[in-house]
Chains A and B, each alone.
Chain A
Amino acid sequence: MIPLPGILAALEFPPLTHIVQWPAFLFEDTAFAINKVVLVYFFAIALTMLVFIAGNKGRLVPTGMQNLSESSVNFVEDGIVMPTMGPDGLRFTPFLMSIFFFVFFTNIFEVIPVIQMPASARIALPMFLALTVWVVFVLVGIIKQGPLGYFKNSLFPPGVPAALYILVAPIEFVSTFLVRPFSLMVRLFANLLAGHILLVTFAVLSSALVVSEWYVVFLPLPALGVIFFTAFEVLVSFLQAYVFALLTGVYIGSSLHADH
């Protein structure tokens, strides 16, 4: 019989590549290879479109999906658009809705049985979304304030003594055009990767304790951990989608309204 510390020391945690990389099963060895992560993208796109289609039914008294869809429009308008952009940001509601639901659905596949893989735990998706947001808020700023006006307002904020601009302009440049997309990307990616690793840790520990030895009595601890952290990850999925959409709103809002 191996003593308890023995089995814990011999416990083999799968290397990171094993828990986030999936083999392709369609169109292998081409640029369009499809694996589990790509499948999650397709599911998330379909579900996001479903939300929009359900909201477009236009029945006066909404039922079922339309109910959910309409209340989520309310949530995005009152919870994200109004506090960050004000009334003239309302035409960005469809964009923020798509971002919110796409991020939420790709995240929630972390806890859906059989799939259990957040697509955001691979850097490609957060990077693509962050770059999209970056392009949108720079374009909105250029269209709203003119190309010169936008860069002048964002690099040389008014109300700073002229001599300090040597210091302020590079800092503003780095924080607005480099740190914003980078932090948007890393926040989503690292949160979901951490959650995925956490769930794998407790699942590996639980499966290692399914034995016919006396220390099977410790099995409930990691098993309860899996249940608790699954519930926690549902909250994280929602919160990260909310924060991503909220920060998108803040960045677009800062392009809409220049500092005075």
Chain B
Amino acid sequence: MEITDSGLAALTYGLGAIGPGIGIGYLVGQAVQAMARQPEAAGMVRTTMFLGIAFVEALALIGFVVFFLAG
């Protein structure tokens, strides 16, 4: 099978999405736990959770843009 540039780019993006995937899963899981333990702090936890998601997700999205630049 021939290895092409776009195939490599797609593979690399897949690899690059592993880290943010684990990160968002862990982050949201912990946030849900925090909300379950202290429902009165849910609003604050939610805001902080979205902030954290935005930062973690940026890595995956930069990978997505690099995929188009390389592929």
Interface of A toward B, CB cutoff 8 Å: 16, 79, 83-84, 183, 186-187, 189-191, 193-194, 239, 242-243, 246-247, 250
Q: Is the CB of B61 within 8 A of A187?
A: yes
Q: Is the CB of B47 within 8 A of A186?
A: no
Q: Is the CB of A246 within 8 A of B44?
A: no
Q: CA of A186 to CA of B50 in the docked complex: distance in angstroms?
A: 17
Q: CA of A217 to CA of B54 in the docked complex: distance in angstroms?
A: 40
Q: CA of A186 to CA of B55 in the docked complex: distance in angstroms?
A: 11
Query: Could you pull out 21 A-B pairs where Cβ atoms are within 8 angstroms?
Result: A16-B68, A83-B44, A84-B47, A183-B55, A183-B62, A186-B58, A186-B61, A186-B65, A187-B58, A190-B61, A190-B62, A190-B65, A191-B61, A193-B64, A194-B61, A242-B50, A243-B51, A243-B53, A246-B50, A246-B54, A250-B51
Q: CA of A186 to CA of B62 in the docked complex: distance in angstroms?
A: 7
Task: Identify the closest chain A residue to B58 (Cβ).
Answer: A183
Could you tell me the distance in whole angstroms from the C-beta of A233 to the nearest C-beta in chain B?
15
- Residues 23-60 of chain B: 1 if any A CB is under 8 Å from the residue's CB, otherwise 0? 00000000000000000000110010011011101100
Dominant secondary structure of chain B at its interface with chain A: helix
Total number of residue pairs linking A and B with CB closer than 8 Å: 40
Could you tell me the distance in whole angstroms from the C-beta of B43 to the nearest C-beta in chain A?
8
Interface of B toward A, CB cutoff 8 Å: 43-44, 47, 50-51, 53-55, 57-58, 61-62, 64-65, 68
Q: Specify which chain B residues have a CB less than 8 angstroms from the CB of A186 in the assembled complex.
A: 58, 61-62, 65
Q: CA of A191 to CA of B65 in the docked complex: distance in angstroms?
A: 10
Q: Specify which chain A residues have a CB less than 8 angstroms from the CB of B65 in the assembled complex.
A: 186, 189-190
Q: CA of A79 to CA of B68 in the docked complex: distance in angstroms?
A: 35
Task: Identify the closest chain B residue to A188 (Cβ).
Answer: B61
Q: Specify which chain A residues have a CB less than 8 angstroms from the CB of B54 in the assembled complex.
A: 187, 243, 246-247
Give me 4 other A-B pairs in contact (C-beta within 8 A), A84-B47, A183-B62, A246-B47 excluded. A183-B55, A187-B54, A187-B57, A190-B64
Q: CA of A147 to CA of B16 in the docked complex: distance in angstroms?
A: 39
Q: Is the CB of A247 within 8 A of B51?
A: yes
Q: CA of A231 to CA of B44 in the docked complex: distance in angstroms?
A: 27
Q: Specify which chain B residues have a CB less than 8 angstroms from the CB of A190 in the assembled complex.
A: 61-62, 64-65
Once A186-B58, A187-B58 are accepted as A-B contacts, the answer to whether A243 and B50 lie under 8 Å apart by CB is yes
Q: Specify which chain A residues have a CB less than 8 angstroms from the CB of B64 in the assembled complex.
A: 190, 193-194
Q: CA of A83 to CA of B68 in the docked complex: distance in angstroms?
A: 36
Q: Specify which chain B residues have a CB less than 8 angstroms from the CB of A189 in the assembled complex.
A: 65
Could you tell me the distance in whole angstroms from the C-beta of B47 to the nearest C-beta in chain A?
5
Task: Identify the closest chain A residue to B65 (Cβ).
Answer: A190
